[in-house]
Structure 1
């Protein structure tokens, strides 16, 4: 198995992530860390404590998709696991995932069930496809008001606690196990996505190739989440910008216009509500709204 981790200021998390990988290994494993010009000691930690891990240290931040593709080109393994550096895989996770993939050739991508460090469910391991309906629900806040329903919270698959194995639309990049030949056949990650939505795009292309994306509830791991992107407003701007790139790639012109307008509405409704209520969230939504040009441009900013 080949394993790819993309790091950016992950000195706190990368050690436990690599320790867990080593404990979970069931055979030869080629682990590659692509460091996107971290300003902390991430690279030093890997080289000091895990000399068997290959480190591709970059002089600039390539973004997630491009860094993953760079590492994948150096691998010659049947399976490739893209893994976030702020994860800790269970000891049997790699074995269960590998066996499931080898037993069922129809599976193109396999994901696992993620937990927060306190043991609670982290539902971001898989999603439903973005649609105009899901964009409308998010713009109106219906996904929050009725979070436990798939009707009004369709992307987050509301009401499902990820406790069974089933086909899903999107397996997220925190733990994404894919056949290397499938990854190469569909062209890898689309590097137009600097960060976020690249896994949504890849999952769609894999499903269009006739393979399945599967959430496997027995493949367990802890995923802290947000390990390298701690500024809330900046993160949301990147998420919305990446979503707009997805719309422009896969949707019709009328749907793109509607989807982009709904991204505006998603922020504007929160901004207006925060101004009426007052409190600390008002400044956050003001910052996001001022940066709305990010999801109206044709690419995700690499700045």
Structure 2
């Protein structure tokens, strides 16, 4: 599509957290430089594990790039909160290192969607490397919903929350919510954040653009990640946020939307 903000400076700050994803980060940064230079003002890369710094293209980065190297690993939420602390761009973006951009810049559409009244977050359609739509939109993860999904194979139809592989948020909303709840070391911090967005009366809006997300949940392969996942679910289920959001979102008139519709 044509440039939506052709005369304005870039309005977006992006946070990327790498857990030894150096090659993926390098490729993603080069894509951002080639495709999204007119959208992105600043990128903060947090290296949670030791790795080499990304190499700039010959012409240099078209955006400000700040690299933060952790002395000790921190959780997903803590890293992104630190990266975006004090952000003064109009919008912020949480972006996974295992996301790849397609030929067109997705951020103009995401910024338009994020600018709409009553919107707390905009997100793209996520597809795998073969173009299949991924299940990034989910029903609130009650024990019953997980049972229906995991054991009975039932397809979810409500989009109560979205994963945080790629979300664009108006900066005032990000600051007002205080970012992610850092008590979730890993897993469910995006669930909790989306539920808090909904409890403020704001919407999660899917923009008509795609990104490629090929990541797989480590909790299916690692006992440590599974333990983190279970611990986070238990924390979520006993939280006031979960109880209030479940009451709000399980009513048909308050659902976030239906998966498969814009």
Q: TM-score range by the shorter chain?
A: 0.7 to 0.9
2:165 corresponds to 1:174:
yes
2:4 corresponds to 1:2:
no
**2 CA distance for matches of 1:209 and 1:11?**
37
Q: Is the 8 A contact 1:17 1:85 kept in 2?
A: yes
**2 CA distance for matches of 1:86 and 1:132?**
29
Q: Is the 8 A contact 2:14 2:40 kept in 1?
A: no
Return the match for 1:232 from 222, 231, 238.
Answer: 222
Q: Which has the higher helix share?
A: 1
Q: Is the 8 A contact 1:171 1:215 kept in 2?
A: no
Return the match for 1:55 from 67, 73, 76.
Answer: 67
Give TM-score scaled by structure 2 length. Answer: 0.78
Return the match for 1:18 from 29, 33, 41.
Answer: 29
Aligned length, in residue pairs:
226
The equivalent of 1:186 in structure 2 is: 177
The equivalent of 1:248 in structure 2 is: 238
**Segment drifting more, 110-119 vs 1-10:** 110-119
**2 CA distance for matches of 1:169 and 1:7?**
27
Unpaired segments ≥5 residues, structure 1: 151-156, 158-166, 256-303
2:87 corresponds to 1:96:
no
> What is the DSSP-based 3-state SS (H/G/I as helix, E as strand, rest coil) of the residue aligned with 1:122?
coil
Q: Quick one: structure 1 residues 247 and 68, their matched pair in 2 at CA, closer, same or farther if it must change by over 3 Å?
A: same
**2 CA distance for matches of 1:88 and 1:99?**
21
Q: Is the 8 A contact 1:168 1:215 kept in 2?
A: no
Unpaired segments ≥5 residues, structure 2: 1-11, 247-262
Give TM-score scaled by structure 1 length. Answer: 0.68
Deviation at 1:86, TM superposition (A): 0.8
Deviation at 1:7, TM superposition (A): 0.9
Deviation at 1:195, TM superposition (A): 0.9
**2 CA distance for matches of 1:28 and 1:77?**
10
Deviation at 1:145, TM superposition (A): 5.3
**2 CA distance for matches of 1:55 and 1:229?**
28
The equivalent of 1:198 in structure 2 is: 189
**1 CA distance for matches of 2:222 and 2:99?**
20
The equivalent of 1:126 in structure 2 is: 137
Which protein is bigger by CA-based radius of gyration? Answer: 1
Return the match for 1:211 from 181, 202, 207.
Answer: 202
Return the match for 2:41 from 24, 29, 36.
Answer: 29
The equivalent of 2:85 in structure 1 is: 73
**2 CA distance for matches of 1:30 and 1:208?**
30
